[in-house]
């Protein structure tokens, strides 16, 4: 017997078709770049949410994993002629490897040490990339080869990247590792008593999250054709947090919804007077929503749908 197709699945497919086709319509080409950016940021938010929303590990420095993969992919493709898709995957693996090196000691510490380590990482990377000529110094690396030349194909690629991250997240969450991640989030001591190897679970969660963040960062570098130390600035680090909290942390689709809302507002608020304060405005609005609906916009949606 065929399984019944749920209305939510149909709605999801319809939304995907709209997203895939919309920027190709006449007069809509201007949406291509902002929507590509949105998909990349949504991928970063999905990665961040996997770590915090499901494993309970707060990272204030995911821009580090984003940027490190971007730099690695840019150098590999530009200086060594490695094909861009391969360079992107290697870049993401570099981020994941660094995450393992950082996570091994810091995740064993009790309290907020891991948060502090993640806070420091982008700051250190900012100084390093500024200082090292091999990384382009203050100006960064220019002439990063694009993934493909056609901007619509780049957009579709970003949509695919976001979807693939979403599917990977769903797979992880439903696996044994995902269940163990949730147990760590809920109560680490209880999880240990239940036989959950908590250091291993946290490390794997961090590595997977860093890998997905790295894919987003590499895509971003090849989209812009340049990567510079500004990638490590506070705005990039705080965006996945705001997007996930606004959309609904610990939910699969929350970060995507949050990313689309925030990026849309971001693009709309490019008036200079507002632009400088927009991060503050978003943070205030996000935490106001969090106070009222701890599950973010996903919580609101669930209430509305009943």
Stretch that binds another protein, among 137-145, 190-198, 212-220, 253-261 (CB under 8 A): 190-198
Residue 29 engages another protein in binding (rule: CB under 8 A): no
Q: Least distance in Å: CB of 76 to another protein?
A: 38
Cβ-in-10-Å burial (0-12, 13-18, 19+) of 285 comes to middle
The span of 115-123, 152-160, 196-204, 214-222 binding another protein (CB under 8 A) equals: 196-204
139: contact with another protein by CB under 8 A: no
Strand-pairing partners, residue 17, are: none
CB of 40 closer than 8 Å to CB of 219: yes
What does the CA dihedral 193, 197, 203, 208 come to, rounded to 10 degrees?
-100
Determine which residue in the list 104, 139, 148, 186 makes contact with another protein, applying CB under 8 A. 186
Among 41, 44, 92, 196, binds another protein (CB under 8 A): 196
Of 2, 5, 30, 193, the residue at the interface with another protein (CB under 8 A) is 193
| Nearest-approach distance from CB 69 to another protein, in angstroms | 31
Minimum Å distance from CB 250 to another protein?
A: 8
Count of residues near another protein by CB under 8 A: 17
Pick the binder of another protein from 11, 14, 109, 187 (CB under 8 A): 187
Burial of 277 (C-beta count, 10 Å sphere; 0-12/13-18/19+)? exposed
**In this complex, which beta carbon is closest to another protein, that of residue 189 or of residue 272?**
189
Q: How many helices (H) and strands (E) does the chain have?
A: 15, 2
Residue 180 engages another protein in binding (rule: CB under 8 A): yes
Q: Per rule CB under 8 A, is residue 171 in the interface with another protein?
A: no
**How many whole angstroms separate alpha carbon 172 and alpha carbon 212?**
12
β-sheet bridge partners, residue 141: 227
- Of 198 and 213, the one with the shorter C-beta distance to another protein is 198
Q: Is 98 in the site for another protein (CB under 8 A)?
A: no
Tell which one of 168, 192, 238, 269 touches another protein (CB under 8 A): 192
Nearest approach, Cβ of residue 5 and another protein (Å): 25
What is the distance between the alpha carbons of residues 183 and 204, in angstroms, rounded to a whole number? 14
The distance from CA 56 to its chain's CA centroid, rounded to whole angstroms, is 16
Residue 188: both structure tokens together:
């680490």
CB environment 51-88: b (16+ within 10 A), e (fewer): bbbbbbbebbbbbbbbbbbbbbbbbbbbeeebebeebb
- Regarding 198 and contact with another protein (CB under 8 A), the answer is yes
Stretch that binds another protein, among 99-107, 156-164, 175-183, 205-213 (CB under 8 A): 175-183
Where do the H-state alpha helices sit in 225-292?
234-247, 254-268, 272-275, 278-292
Residues contributing to the site for another protein (CB under 8 A): 176, 179-180, 182-183, 186-187, 189-198
């Amino acid at each position: 017997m065929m399984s019944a197709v749920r209305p939510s699945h149909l709605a999801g497919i319809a939304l995907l078709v709209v997203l895939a086709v919309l920027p190709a319509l006449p007069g809509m080409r201007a949406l291509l770049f902002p929507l590509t950016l949105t998909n990349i940021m949504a991928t970063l938010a999905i990665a961040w949410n996997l770590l915090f929303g499901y494993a309970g590990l707060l990272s204030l420095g995911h821009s580090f994993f984003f940027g490190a993969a971007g730099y690695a992919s840019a150098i590999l493709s530009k200086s060594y002629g490695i094909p861009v898709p391969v360079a992107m995957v290697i870049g993401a693996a570099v981020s994941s490897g660094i995450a393992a090196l950082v996570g091994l000691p810091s995740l064993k510490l009790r309290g907020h040490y891991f948060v502090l380590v993640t806070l420091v990482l982008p700051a250190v990377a900012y100084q390093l990339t500024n200082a090292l000529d091999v990384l382009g110094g203050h100006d960064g690396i220019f002439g990063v080869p694009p993934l493909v030349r056609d901007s619509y194909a780049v957009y579709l690629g970003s949509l695919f990247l976001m979807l693939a991250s979403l599917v990977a997240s769903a797979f992880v969450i439903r696996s044994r590792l995902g269940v163990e991640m949730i147990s760590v989030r809920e109560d680490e001591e209880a999880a240990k008593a239940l036989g959950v190897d908590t250091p291993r679970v946290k490390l794997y969660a961090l590595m997977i999250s860093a890998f997905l963040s790295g894919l987003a960062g590499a895509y971003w570098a090849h989209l812009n054709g340049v990567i510079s130390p500004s990638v490590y600035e506070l705005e990039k680090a705080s965006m996945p947090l705001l997007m996930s909290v606004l959309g609904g942390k610990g939910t699969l689709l929350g970060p995507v919804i949050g990313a689309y809302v925030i990026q849309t507002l971001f693009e709309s608020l490019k008036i200079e007077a507002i632009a400088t304060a927009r991060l503050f405005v978003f943070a205030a609005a996000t935490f106001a929503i969090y106070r009222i609906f701890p599950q973010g916009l996903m919580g609101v949606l669930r209430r509305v749908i009943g």
